[in-house]
């Protein structure tokens, strides 16, 4: 009787695997991180300069990007853009830093399909740091 239950359990598990395997292996199922567009922003200090950059590190096939990155300085509770730079998938900018001021990078990219229609907007921030 125990052997019979074991065989039925094994057959049920095998049937379940056969039914579920096509769904698991389907080419249509793509993890979100692999399917979407991704932007990164960074910031560093060099001498008395704050340098920022933004880059679209993952872009869907057939799409193009227009990226702008801003040097932002904190003023009270607000972030104020001090300067910017732009490019296609990557942009950078530099600004003369003031002692005691907190800075960060803000990157924004507009994504266009092959027909030139805007299909996505990406935004990213670096961590902030005080000069």
Q: Residues 24-51: pLDDT tens digits?
A: 443 333 333 344 688 999 999 999 999 9
Which of 80 and 62 is assigned the larger pLDDT?
A: 80
Nearest to residue 83, comparing CAs of 93, 74, 97, 68?
93
Q: Residues 77-115: pLDDT tens digits?
A: 999 999 999 999 999 999 999 999 999 999 999 999 999
List the beta bridge partners of residue 45.
Answer: 50
Is 2.60.40.10 the CATH classification of the domain at 32-130? Answer: yes
Nearest to residue 70, comparing CAs of 89, 45, 50?
50
Question: What are the sequence ranges of the domains in the chain?
Answer: 32-130
């Amino acid at each position: 009787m125990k052997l019979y239950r074991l065989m039925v359990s094994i057959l049920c598990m095998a049937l379940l695997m056969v039914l579920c395997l096509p769904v698991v292996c389907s080419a249509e199922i793509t993890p979100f991180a692999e399917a979407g567009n991704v932007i990164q922003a960074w910031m560093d200090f060099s001498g008395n300069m704050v340098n920022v950059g933004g880059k679209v590190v993952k872009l869907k096939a057939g799409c193009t990007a227009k990226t702008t990155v801003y040097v932002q300085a904190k003023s009270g509770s607000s972030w104020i853009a001090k300067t910017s730079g732009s490019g296609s998938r990557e942009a950078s900018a530099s600004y003369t830093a003031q002692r005691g001021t907190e800075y960060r990078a803000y990157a924004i990219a507009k994504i266009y399909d092959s027909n030139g229609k805007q299909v996505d907007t990406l935004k990213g921030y670096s961590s902030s740091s005080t000069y």
